[in-house]
A and B are shown apart, each in its own frame.
Chain A
Amino acid sequence: MEWNLDPSRPIYQQIIEKVETEIASGRYQPGQQLPSVRELALEAGVNPNTMQRALSELERGGLVTSRRTSGRFITEDGNMIGETRNAIADRQIRIFLEKMADLGMTKKELLKRMEKEAVSADAQNAAGQNTAVKGEEQ
């Protein structure tokens, strides 16, 4: 996993956000066991105490649970994962809306442009899949 930490923000917060995103996207599966604090710290290139702090916060929120002897696991609570996913999406949307407001975009313009972009992104994805399939055939 690429951690890509932003040097201007607290590290433990970014770890929390990163793990939340991994859970919300399904890259970390419900019930999956997390690597140890030390392994995660080494992978992220951060201090083990910072990693510990981030995981404790995640535990407090309930997304991660700890079983005394066997380590830390991702929650199996589907509702909680769904809520986390929505919260992350909402956060990104708010940032996006602020930037668009700064550009002076009206809501109507914005919705129209987003629809257009979504359609062309779909088309590109479809084209990408087609070439992938052709590549395999060859």
Chain B
Amino acid sequence: MSAVIECINISKQYKGGCQALDNVSLNCQSGRIVGLLGPNGSGKTTLIKILEKLLVPTGGTFAIAGQTDPVEIKKIVSYLPDCNFLGDTLTVKDALDYFQTFFEDFDRPRAEEMMEKLGITGTQYLKTMSKGTKDKLQLVLVMSRRAKLYLLDEPIGGVDPATRDFILHTIVANTDEDSSVLISTHLISDVEPILDEAVFINNGRIVLKSTVDAIREEHGKSVNDYFREVFKCY
């Protein structure tokens, strides 16, 4: 096992004053699925965007599988943004071509096999798809890369429970001993069974890092219920 994410004292101060991240240090070993759990506005997306080299931190350093160069990092990190990133005028085949052109590690047969299971055909236009189908397609594309690190920003937000199961199943099935997954979400009860570790983030700081079973053992409740207790708003 080796470290996939090594991040030391990362801070991010947005122009205009918001301190989105405050001295975040995080280590993640290969073969792990880590949940980045926090309330809205806690810094989850900012951290993911920094790890994907889309944002520049105002302080701190990090390496992904030992790499610090942005181009090298993008080669080994597969990123699922929390929005639609594919144009509506594309067909499924266009989207596949697009990924194949961009990423050397894209495993096209694997993507096609998963799409077949989902009943998604190559000639379909993205604009004719429902939100849930589009989400599934995007996840299939992202998980079909043979990456070192998968950064998944809210992969199960706004989809029905059966689709959630498909997405979680796909994440587990496609992660091997050499890769890691960082999932940000606030739908904790759905993801907690597949997590190795839960990282609680609040106001830009990591407030807890523990395994799911350790939290359950120690507090006698699910990570979801413990989260509600820690981040109680009233």
Where the two chains meet, the residues of A that have a C-beta atom closer than 8 Å to any C-beta of B are: 5, 7-13, 38, 41-42, 44-50
Q: How far is the CA of A38 from the CA of B33 in the complex (A)?
A: 14
Q: How far is the CA of A38 from the CA of B175 in the complex (A)?
A: 10
7 nearest interchain CB pairs? Answer: A7-B222, A10-B213, A10-B216, A46-B193, A8-B221, A10-B217, A47-B194
Inter-chain contact A9/B172, CB cutoff 8 Å = no
Number of A-B contacts (CB under 8 A): 50
Most buried by A among B193, B221, B224: B193
Inter-chain contact B33/A11, CB cutoff 8 Å = no
Q: Beta-carbon contacts of B187-225 to A below 8 Å, as 1s and 0s?
A: 001001111100000000000000011001100111011
- Smallest CB gap from A7: residue in B: B222
When distances are taken between beta carbons in the complex, the residues of chain A under 8 Å from B195 are 47
| Interface presence of B168 (CB below 8 A) | yes
Q: How far is the CA of A44 from the CA of B172 in the complex (A)?
A: 11
Pick the residue among A5, A12, A42 that contacts B169 (CB under 8 A). A42
Give chain B's interface residue range (CB within 8 Å of chain A): 20 to 34
| Interface presence of B57 (CB below 8 A) | no
When distances are taken between beta carbons in the complex, the residues of chain B under 8 Å from A11 are 193, 212-213, 216
Inter-chain contact A8/B222, CB cutoff 8 Å = yes
When distances are taken between beta carbons in the complex, the residues of chain A under 8 Å from B105 are none
Q: How far is the CA of A5 from the CA of B224 in the complex (A)?
A: 14
When distances are taken between beta carbons in the complex, the residues of chain B under 8 Å from A48 are 172
- Smallest CB gap from A53: residue in B: B213
When distances are taken between beta carbons in the complex, the residues of chain B under 8 Å from A46 are 193-194
Pick the residue among A5, A7, A41 that contacts B172 (CB under 8 A). A41
When distances are taken between beta carbons in the complex, the residues of chain B under 8 Å from A5 are 193
| Interface presence of B71 (CB below 8 A) | no
Inter-chain contact A7/B31, CB cutoff 8 Å = no
Q: How far is the CA of A49 from the CA of B212 in the complex (A)?
A: 12
Inter-chain contact A8/B220, CB cutoff 8 Å = yes
Inter-chain contact A42/B217, CB cutoff 8 Å = no
| Interface presence of B165 (CB below 8 A) | yes
Pick the residue among B33, B221, B225 that contacts A47 (CB under 8 A). B33
- Smallest CB gap from A50: residue in B: B213
Q: How far is the CA of A42 from the CA of B170 in the complex (A)?
A: 9
- Smallest CB gap from A9: residue in B: B216
Pick the residue among B165, B196, B213, B216 that contacts A45 (CB under 8 A). B165
- Minimum CB–CB distance for B224 against chain A, Å: 7
Pick the residue among B32, B165, B213 that contacts A12 (CB under 8 A). B213
